A and B are shown apart, each in its own frame.
Chain A
Amino acid sequence: MPVRSIEAPGLVGQDAATPDEGRVRLEVHDLDAFFGSNHAVRGVSMDVPEHRVTAIIGPSGCGKSTFLRTLNRMHETVPGAYIRGRVLLDGADIYAAGIDPVSVRRHVGMVFQRPTAFPTMSIQGNVAAGLRVLRAAGIVVNEEQRVEEALKRSALWDEVRDRLDESALGLSGGQQQRLCIARALAMDPDVLLLDEPTASLDPLSTEKVEDLIHQLRREITVVIVTHNMQQAARVSDQTAFFLHGELIELSPTADLFTRPRDPRTEAYITGRFG
């Protein structure tokens, strides 16, 4: 049954003329994630290709955010949480013995549902927050230049260039969220994880963030969890549908929303549950 509720599915998928087409950046093999005895993600395997936006959709509690948090080892920061399975970043297992989760997170950036600007830091300080950790680790970075670059990449530079020293709390919610994206980009990550990045934003700010995600695809690999199917359709190249902790279907976005292979996917996107 064709889907009527989604407009222009996979719009961005068609102009995806980017280099290194098809190279797999993240590989997930048989991943299970637990909170104590709660089995939140069950046997998920998927590939995340470079320079593509991968969207993850599914009803509340389907494990999509938990799955996202296993990709930069944030899952295990919750007491009692652990995983089984493998996650490879450029072929290297990020869960291998001797791998420091802190160093994984420097390569895989993350932006959360609500803006998390650090309240005691200026705009500049916020964007440079991660860089200062690098500097403390002895890595030389040109802070000013990296901050400017990151703010330009997150389309915030023109709005804040004259007030870099002011508190980040003076920015609007949407600006704060783009600031958080800039903060992640300043680290020059290989992959950027977005956990419902527009859930707390108004429609105009949402549009700006979506434009931004669209732009970012050229330089970076993005995985976005979203409640909003239209958003998945607008920004992503491939979409994964999660249900009860399982990956039900992973297809090119245009196909998933028009020709879902699994009846459960079809039921979800036509609004029969969730």
Chain B
Amino acid sequence: MKFRASRRRHVVSAVMGVVTWGAAITATLPLLFILVYLLAKGVTSLNLAFFTRLPRPVGVSGGGVANAIVGTLIVVGVASALGVPVGVGAGVYLAERKAAPLATTVRFLADVLNGLPSIVMGIFAWELVVVPMGHFSALAGGLALGAMMIPVVTRTTEEMVRVVPTTLYEAALALGYTRWRTALRIVIPTAMGGIITGVMVALARVAGETAPLLFTAIGNEYMSYSLTQPIAALPLTIFNYAISPYDEWHSLAWAAALVLIVFVLLVSMIARAVTRSGFARAVD
């Protein structure tokens, strides 16, 4: 009787297996539905003109969203210029001074900032930049998105710097490296793959944000490369076209959504590739 088979145990195991399998499948369904739906709705409007031309009035065919694509790149570029250096610097500080009172505070505030509704970030940039300047601008949009990037980049940088083995850190100190030189020459380069991943994830996240841009970049019918002028962005284009009453614009909105999601997917995949290649080997 020592090895008596327990029927009940096998049944419970089988049921739980099915339940978790079902949950795993369900978790991927939303993305699959969205992708399939976007492809079905948007792919017909995709052509060269879509990427190279400016929007046209209702009834005139052959319009594109070139201004919004350029605008998104510019706004995200401005956001990175703010979010990456501040985030990486703060992350290195947190990893170096794990338990310092300032580090604990900054870590907590970064998490709070991370959870802040994005529309609040928009209002903040509006007060800080739009009101004093007197008009909407790419700069204001970039600032709002950059502030959203900071906590994400900070926390991933901290995590990535922390997994760099202490032994490397000690080896550098034993060679006569100072602390800051060790951080700059040994620790950050070793963690670079992971830091780039964090930056990519943050980029992918803010590239799709709409609410912060409503009060800041506002949108622009024309091509603009100026930081101080209102600028178009893909999420804004999607929003404006989707709430319009015209079928033609609706399909443009679907196509723009498809382009945006493909951009985000690409960035995420690059991030994964970077993580897999150099970083895993470096911290092994």
Residues of A within 8 A of B (CB): 72, 74, 77, 102-103, 105-106, 109-110, 112, 114, 116, 118-120, 129-130, 132-134, 136, 169, 180, 183-184, 187
Name A74's contact: one of B168, B173, B281, B283 (CB within 8 Å): B173
Tell me if B's interface is mostly helix, strand, loop or mixed.
helix
Q: Are B186 and A105 in contact (CB under 8 A)?
A: no
Name A116's contact: one of B170, B181, B283 (CB within 8 Å): B170
> Which 4 A-B residue pairings sit nearest by Cβ, starting from the closest?
A116-B171, A106-B176, A119-B282, A130-B175
Name A105's contact: one of B165, B176, B181, B185 (CB within 8 Å): B176
Residues on A with C-beta less than 8 A from B178 are 102
Q: Are A119 and B174 in contact (CB under 8 A)?
A: no
Residues on B with C-beta less than 8 A from A133 are 175-177, 181
Q: Are A129 and B172 in contact (CB under 8 A)?
A: yes
Q: Are B177 and A102 in contact (CB under 8 A)?
A: yes
Residues on B with C-beta less than 8 A from A184 are 174-175
- Measured CB to CB, the nearest residue on chain A to B193 is A120
Sort chain B's interface into a size bin. 20 to 34
Tell me if A's interface is mostly helix, strand, loop or mixed.
helix
Name B176's contact: one of A77, A119, A187 (CB within 8 Å): A187
Within 8 A of A (CB), among B225-284: 281-283
Q: A114-B167, A169-B281 are in contact. Are A120 and B175 (CB under 8 A)?
A: no
Q: Are A119 and B281 in contact (CB under 8 A)?
A: yes
Q: Are A187 and B175 in contact (CB under 8 A)?
A: yes
Q: Are A118 and B176 in contact (CB under 8 A)?
A: no
Name A120's contact: one of B167, B171, B181, B192 (CB within 8 Å): B192
Q: A112-B167, A169-B281 are in contact. Are A120 and B174 (CB under 8 A)?
A: no
Q: Are A120 and B173 in contact (CB under 8 A)?
A: no
Q: Are B190 and A77 in contact (CB under 8 A)?
A: no
Residues on B with C-beta less than 8 A from A183 are 175
Q: Are B176 and A112 in contact (CB under 8 A)?
A: no
B89 at the interface (CB under 8 A from A): no
Residues on A with C-beta less than 8 A from B177 are 102, 130, 133
Q: What is the bound-complex CA distance between A118 and B170, given in angstroms?
A: 11
Q: Are B281 and A105 in contact (CB under 8 A)?
A: no
Q: What is the bound-complex CA distance between A120 and B194, given in angstroms?
A: 13
Sample (16) of A-B pairs whose CB atoms are under 8 Å apart: A102-B176, A102-B178, A103-B176, A105-B173, A105-B175, A112-B171, A116-B165, A116-B170, A116-B171, A119-B168, A129-B185, A132-B185, A136-B181, A169-B281, A184-B174, A187-B175
Q: Are A74 and B189 in contact (CB under 8 A)?
A: no
Give 1 or 0 for each of B43-84: 1 = CB within 8 Å of chain A CB. 000000000000000000000000000000000000000000
Q: What is the bound-complex CA distance between A92 and B270, given in angstroms?
A: 55
Name A77's contact: one of B168, B170, B181, B283 (CB within 8 Å): B170
Residues on B with C-beta less than 8 A from A77 are 170, 173
- Measured CB to CB, the nearest residue on chain B to A108 is B174
